[in-house]
Each structure stands twice: as structure tokens, then as C-alpha cells.
Amino acid sequence: MTKQIIWLHEKGLRLTDEIKNHQANGTKVIHIWDENYYQERGYSLKRLIFIYETLAEADIEIIKGDTIETIKTLNADIILTPKPSDRAIKELCSKIATITTLKTLEETAFASITEGFKFTRFFKYWNKAQKTAFLINGKVDA
């Protein structure tokens, strides 16, 4: 049987339906608390608290250690992770891909905005995005 694990990096903490479906089917979801990595990134205490509280609230297993060394010890055949846009996480993904099979999970868009809209300021974006940002399956959650 293929052993799959979902590695939630700090930029992919949103539990999408796809991650929940994998989790419901018995796939373990983890976050690796890599203090050296966080220090290199220059994360503030406030940001680290946010990451930790988000993980704790979602009941995600947190494993303390070096990301690459921890991945090696998991002996997973496939590591699934939210698709990274961050350069440092992409580099980690490249290293993980040399150890085991790495597959990225596409995240659903937070909001739908008409193509060609020019984003010049956040509030101009938000005025368009807020209309669809909190819809669940295209409908307002009642």
C-alpha cells in the first residue's frame, strides 16, 4: 500500500476540500516546525504564534525538526503539499522531490474576479473580491 502524507507548509495552511478529502481517507496531515528555517526567514514571534495557533485549531500534527531530515524519517512514498508560490518553499520542495515523490495540490481561488481587472490598490481589489470571497460552492453559506 502506498504511504501518502500531506505536508502543510506555512504558506498553505488553508484546509481545502481536497486536503480534507485526503485526510478523511486516512492520509496523515503534518506540519514540520523547523526552527532553523523560521529563523532564516526572519519570522517574528507574532507570525510564529499565528502559524502555531492555526495548526492547533485545525488539529494538524506538528513535528519539530529539520524539514528535510524529518521528511526522510517519515518513509512516505508520496508527499502531497499545497502548491507553493514562495521561493524558499519551492526550494524545499525541490529537495523533497529528490527524496521521494512530491505532488502539489492546487488550491481553489479565494475569490473569482473577472479577467482583465486592473489591480492597483488592495481596496479596489477587495471591493470586487468580497462579493465572491466567502461563497461556498458558489452560494452564500446560510
Let me know whether 77 and 44 are in one domain. yes
Nearest Cα to Cα of residue 60 among 119, 115, 8: 8
Let me know whether 21 and 52 are in one domain. yes
| Residue 139 confidence (pLDDT) above 90 | no
Nearest Cα to Cα of residue 27 among 81, 67, 73, 71: 81
Let me know whether 34 and 95 are in one domain. yes
Q: What is the mean pLDDT of residues 126-139?
A: 66
d(CA 78, CA 22): 12
Let me know whether 68 and 131 are in one domain. no
What per-residue confidence (pLDDT) applies to 87?
A: 92
Let me know whether 86 and 124 are in one domain. no
Let me know whether 83 and 128 are in one domain. no
Nearest Cα to Cα of residue 95 among 32, 1, 22: 32
Let me know whether 24 and 58 are in one domain. yes
Let me know whether 14 and 60 are in one domain. yes
pLDDT digits (tens, 9 = 90+) for 36-59: 999 999 999 999 999 999 999 888
d(CA 130, CA 126): 6
Q: What is the mean pLDDT of residues 92-111?
A: 86
- End-to-end CA, the chain: 41
The boundaries of the domain holding residue 123 are 109-142
What per-residue confidence (pLDDT) applies to 85?
A: 84
Let me know whether 84 and 116 are in one domain. no
| Residue 98 confidence (pLDDT) above 80 | yes
| Residue 138 confidence (pLDDT) above 60 | no
Total Cβ atoms within 10 A of residue 10: 21
CATH of the domain at 72: 3.40.50.620
Q: State how many domains the chain has.
A: 2
φ, ψ of residue 73 in degrees (nearest 5): -75, -20
